[in-house]
Amino acid sequence: MLKKIVIIGPESTGKSTLAEQLALHYETVWCPEFAREFLLTNGTDYTFEDLLTIAEGQLALEDEYTTKLEEHSLPLLEDGGHIPLFIDTDMYVMKVWCEFVFGNCHRFVLDNIVSRKYDLYLLCNVDLPWIKDELREYPDLETRKKLYFIYKDIMVNQSTPWIDISGSYEERLAKAVKAVDKLLDAS
């Protein structure tokens, strides 16, 4: 059975790094964040409507990776094996982004929060040093903490298991592996 593990949290908290490390550890794939490529191609002066395009693109990318992984792993899945797919960002991230920047959220995002099912969330904390890049918007720690607590509130109020990921990159990976192993062993 395919297990979908989502990595979420504020920007510059090591989400992509963790997704890539986990995919290497479990010899599987990870679904990247669609927004990064979209913004690199179209610029950082985005609109509310652009966030809908990004949300649609993220889900299409997730579906593409899901299908490829299921097709590639079909014999193992048919034997009752468990394959993890690590997903960098989901509709909760889009919801927070829409509401934090524009004070509103697309119905598409909300509907997909309800309809999409995941097996585990890894919430990345803001205790890593800020790394500047051309796409990041909130370098100040207070804003990053505020965003982290918005994500944490979402995690507490939904039913999918989740864990807080903090510490060094090595500590984060160890915590994530422990949680993913527990998920895979329980299935």
Residue 74 has a pLDDT of 63
Amino acid at 116: R
Residue 57 has a pLDDT of 98
Q: What is the DSSP letter of 47?
A: -
Residues of the chain with pLDDT under 70: 74-80, 131, 133-139, 187
Token couple for 127: 């205790």
Angle between helices 15-25 and 169-186 (to 10 degrees): 50
Task: Residue 10: give its domain's CATH number.
Answer: 3.40.50.300
Note the pLDDT tens digit of each residue in 58-100.
999 999 999 999 888 765 656 667 889 999 999 999 999 999 9
Angle between helices 48-72 and 34-42 (to 10 degrees): 130
pTM exceeds cut of 0.85: yes
- The CA distances from residue 132 to 13, 16, 120, 149, 166, in Å, are 11, 15, 28, 21, 19
The total number of structural domains in the chain stands at 1
Instruction: Look up the domain containing 81 and give its range.
Output: 2-186
Residue 186 has a pLDDT of 83
